[in-house]
Amino acid sequence: MYNEKLRDQKKIVLCEDGTNTLYSKEFNEPYHSTKDGALHESLEKHVKPALALTKNKTQLTILDICFGLGYNTFATLYYLKKYKLSIKVHILSPEFDEGLVRSLATFDYPKEFESIKPIIQAISQNLFYEDEQFKIEILLGDARKSIPQIKEKIDIVYQDAFSPAHNPLLWTTEYFKDIRAICKEDALLTTYSTAAAVRLGLYENDFLVFVHRAQMMRYSTVASLKMLEDVEYIDMELKKQRNAEARSMKDRDYQ
């Protein structure tokens, strides 16, 4: 398994959008695309498409995989506050690096997060936050163990683990089966990954697959349990025919 000592070895990296992320020596990868930028990536690949495609809902339960620096969670709060959207949001976020979450009170976040600083402090201290609109829970420990324990039904999954090459167990078809089991029937999932193996793993678990395009950003993937209007649909049966060698990732290959 992963090396506990390496978990403490991270260095701050400045992204091209001017926001800070970390580089993980444990996973040999940055927490965000330094080219797309931590805040920009979070808003464009996750928060904006997810909220736009669930805009009829007044309450959302979001699974944020995994918490890391919390950009996806904090950008969700920032965006809802900025546009004065009164949607009630409950965010559940697995994370096994407790030391990282506890260090976030002093992390140098972008100015956009200034107004949610007290929330960042509370999460860093208590791994939990709740007010009238937001409830945020960090699920400490291995996501593969905590996800099947979740009782809530999920509207949105931010699938933002380290890459399939470096963190394969958070991208397998069995992993997506566990995700599917806790999803509402109209749930959607956002991810930066456009890999055929990942899309197949989603498709094998009832998700329809779409391309998401945003400005100044590499395209990404949106997957949904129901058909979406006005989003570029990918015919996965056709993809399978054209790429007969493609396979989803399987737990047994990485254990």
Tokens 């030391």, residue?
Answer: 99
Which 189-208 positions form the footprint of ligand SAM (CB under 6 A)? none
Site for ligand SAM contains 66 (CB under 6 A): yes
Question: Closest Cα to residue 164, out of 142, 212, 197?
Answer: 197
What number of other Cβ atoms are within 10 A of residue 245's Cβ?
5
Joined together, the tokens standing for residue 212 give 């998401």
For residue 89, list its beta bridge partners: 60, 134
Handedness of CA 60, 94, 29, 249 (dihedral sign): negative
Q: For ligand SAM, which residue of 43, 127, 161, 187 counts as binding (CB under 6 A)?
A: 161
Contact call for residue 97 and ligand SAM (CB under 6 A):
yes
Counting residues that bind ligand SAM (by CB under 6 A) gives 21
Q: Which x/- pattern, by CB under 6 A, does the window 103-142 give for ligand SAM? A: ---------------------------------------x
Q: What sign results for the dihedral spanned by CA atoms 32, 37, 40, 41? A: negative
143 contacts ligand SAM (rule: CB under 6 A): yes
* CA geometry: angle 156, 58, 232, nearest 5 deg: 45
- Per CB under 6 A, does 209 bind ligand SAM? no
Q: Is 249 in the site for ligand SAM (CB under 6 A)?
A: no
Which member of 160, 172, 173, 201 binds ligand SAM (CB under 6 A)?
160
Question: Where on the chain is the footprint of ligand SAM (CB under 6 A)?
Answer: 31, 42, 66, 68-72, 94-97, 100, 142-144, 160-162, 167, 170
